[in-house]
Chain A
Amino acid sequence: MYNRSLLLTHRDNIAAITDDGITVKYGDILDFSDLLYSKIGHRCLIFALCQNRPDSLCAYISFISNRVVPLLLDDSLDKELLFNLIETYKPEYLWIPVSRLHEFSDETVVFSSNEYSLIRLSHEIQFPLHDELALLLTTSGSTGSPKLVRLTYANIEANARSIAEYLAISDSDRPITTMPMNYSFGLSIINSHFLVGATVLLTNKTLMEKEFWAFLKRGEATTMSGVPYTYEILKKLHIFKMEIPSIKYMTQAGGKLNPDLNREFAEWALKSNKRFYVMYGQTEATARMSYLPHQFAISKLGSMGIAIPGGVFSIIDDKNNPVEGAEIVGELVYKGGNVSHGYAECGDDLKKEDENKGILITGDIAKRDSDNFYYIVGRKKRFIKLFGNRVNLDETERLLKNIISDCACTGEDDHMIVYISDISREQEIREYLALKTGINIRGFSIRYIDKIPKNTSGKTIYANLPIR
């Protein structure tokens, strides 16, 4: 979708405004895109450390429109975890903020823009890329997991079109960024708005900062989005009493919102003439799979809604047979043009064919009601969300093996519990996890256990861990 004609069509529209007053037109992106690609020159793999800044945004568009395949990473990703990923996938280039240039002092800087540098890396080998592969996103980014989602050009376009359609996005919309662009939800906001030539208000500021709110008002933001934790913060900040008339609607995804909070936001939106959308998705489906039409925000409270335009849900039982009828619980399956080709876990996987064929077994446990609205009731896979970041529990155990011999990770959203048998190391482990993942230390609790319960083949029996 990011091609010359899209950028040319909207060339005079403003694509992005930053909190420090930089204005970027679609035509400027095209110029930047051409310049950056002239330095790269061919289809290859690149790692991009992302910020909500023009150079990061424009480079992403350049990569996609010129068939350079980026892995989008957080700009503050731990150095050791970044080097492990480089070792695994051997990208030919890095696109990094100038502030991290010193970590690559032995490498060649090919080009520098205002805030970013293009670095060429030398490897003995390069891995071939599947022809349709467009973009790589992490599954458990903060743990440095090498498991990536393989997305295609068609995936990006299909999802952007569906989202723009159900939210009725127009070129007069102005979403303000509340999430990093390497996070699939954050990226989906950029893609769906750029498709129609809208303006994104770009900021790295958090909701906790004065500059964020000043920018939201000055920039006349029309849309705000967030994960459940964002909504907890908004409530704490007394958003229900704020004057923010420019906001037309708000969207929520990235985990299930607490029902009371959900009701408060739905009722506030109705009263203040705004739309409120609960949505559901996964990086494995580019971003979005469902939305709850805003008219049903209260009457279908707790539901993640219906499939997005072009998508279809079904529910299967444990023998993989489709479940018909209402209120029967099973695993949620999604079919649509936004379903990724599958995962990559090593460099050789980048040439893999489409393993999903448009069908995603989501790993989420769901049911539908008699009106065909869907509800998530549980999760099959071993991961939790910490303040919106998907964190794989097995990956976390692997990470902790670097400093302790054994542990078991479990927990619920916004609260991971690590069982260990040496309680003297509690603080050290919490600090290590916070440091490596970049997630606030509050997300991690340590519990003492005599012995981690194991079966005969040495696997942890999570069901035998003490009940919290």
Chain B
Amino acid sequence: MTNLEKYNQVFILNFLVKEEQLPGMSLGSVSVWDSVGHMGLIAAMEETFDLTLETDDIIDFSSYENGKQILNKYKIDI
């Protein structure tokens, strides 16, 4: 699986959404992505890519697009 596929899978499995819904998705834009959902998403990202996100990055991880840039900082190219 490519990193993009892995990245998308985390969203799809966590939020029970379809791939085509992902662009533009952000914290609060769907009911499953609330603070509880966010914690689950972050935990799954950390496990999938084997890293620990810093506080600011957890908070900035507030949209599908932002998340890609944040993972770039951890040398994960998506």
Asked if chains A and B come from one complex, the reply is yes
Instruction: Answer yes or no: B54 CB below 8 A from chain A CBs.
Output: yes
Instruction: Answer yes or no: B21 CB below 8 A from chain A CBs.
Output: no
Instruction: Answer yes or no: B67 CB below 8 A from chain A CBs.
Output: no
Instruction: Answer yes or no: A237 CB below 8 A from chain B CBs.
Output: yes
Instruction: Answer yes or no: B60 CB below 8 A from chain A CBs.
Output: yes
Q: Is the CB of B31 within 8 A of A236?
A: no
Contact of B62 among A209, A213, A232, A434 (CB under 8 A): A209
Chain A residue at smallest Cβ distance from B33: A440
Chain A residue at smallest Cβ distance from B15: A441
Instruction: Give the complex CA separation of A439 and B35 in angstroms.
Output: 10
Q: Is the CB of B32 within 8 A of A233?
A: no
Instruction: Answer yes or no: B70 CB below 8 A from chain A CBs.
Output: no
The answer to whether residues A208 and B59 also contact, given A233-B39, A387-B36 and a CB cut-off of 8 A, is yes
Q: Is the CB of B37 within 8 A of A442?
A: yes
Instruction: Answer yes or no: A206 CB below 8 A from chain B CBs.
Output: yes
Interface residues of A in 219-270 (CB under 8 A from B): 229, 232-233, 236-238, 241-242
Instruction: Give the complex CA separation of A213 and B60 in angstroms.
Output: 12
Q: Which residues of B contact A236 (CB under 8 A)?
A: 39, 42-43, 58
Majority-rule SS of B interface residues:
helix
Chain B residue at smallest Cβ distance from A237: B55
Q: Is the CB of B54 within 8 A of A440?
A: no
Tally chain B residues at the interface, Cβ within 8 Å.
19
Q: Which residues of A contact B38 (CB under 8 A)?
A: 208
Q: Is the CB of B55 within 8 A of A233?
A: no
Instruction: Answer yes or no: A443 CB below 8 A from chain B CBs.
Output: yes
Q: Which residues of A contact B16 (CB under 8 A)?
A: 427, 431, 441
Chain B residue at smallest Cβ distance from A430: B16
Instruction: Give the complex CA separation of A237 and B61 in angstroms.
Output: 12
Contact of B32 among A229, A238, A242, A434 (CB under 8 A): A434
- Counting chain A CB atoms within 10 Å of each CB, the highest count among B32, B35, B36 belongs to B36
How far is the CB of A218 from the nearest CB of chain B, in Å?
16
Q: Which residues of A contact B60 (CB under 8 A)?
A: 210
Interface residues of B in 30-57 (CB under 8 A from A): 31-32, 34-40, 42-43, 54-55
- Counting chain A CB atoms within 10 Å of each CB, the highest count among B38, B39, B40, B54 belongs to B39
Tally chain A residues at the interface, Cβ within 8 Å.
25
Q: Which residues of A contact B59 (CB under 8 A)?
A: 208-210, 213, 237
Q: Which residues of A contact B58 (CB under 8 A)?
A: 208, 236-237
Q: Which residues of A contact B36 (CB under 8 A)?
A: 229, 387, 439-440, 442-443
Contact of A441 among B27, B32, B54 (CB under 8 A): B32
Q: Is the CB of B55 within 8 A of A238?
A: yes
How far is the CB of A432 from the nearest CB of chain B, in Å?
12
How far is the CB of B18 from the nearest CB of chain A, in Å?
13
- Counting chain A CB atoms within 10 Å of each CB, the highest count among B16, B35, B60 belongs to B35
Instruction: Give the complex CA separation of A263 and B19 in angstroms.
Output: 41
In the assembled complex, 29 residue pairs joining A and B whose CB atoms fall closer than 8 Å, in A order, are A206-B34, A208-B27, A208-B35, A208-B38, A208-B62, A209-B27, A210-B59, A210-B62, A213-B59, A229-B36, A232-B39, A233-B35, A233-B39, A236-B42, A236-B43, A237-B55, A237-B58, A237-B59, A238-B54, A238-B55, A241-B55, A431-B16, A434-B32, A440-B32, A440-B34, A440-B37, A441-B32, A441-B37, A442-B40
Other A-B contacts than A236-B42, A241-B55, 17 sampled, CB-CB below 8 A, are A208-B39, A208-B58, A208-B62, A209-B59, A229-B36, A233-B39, A236-B43, A238-B55, A387-B36, A431-B16, A439-B36, A440-B36, A441-B16, A441-B37, A442-B37, A442-B40, A443-B36
Q: Rank and list the top 9 A-B pairs by shortest CB-CB distance, nearest first.
A: A440-B36, A206-B35, A208-B35, A238-B55, A208-B38, A237-B55, A210-B59, A440-B37, A387-B36
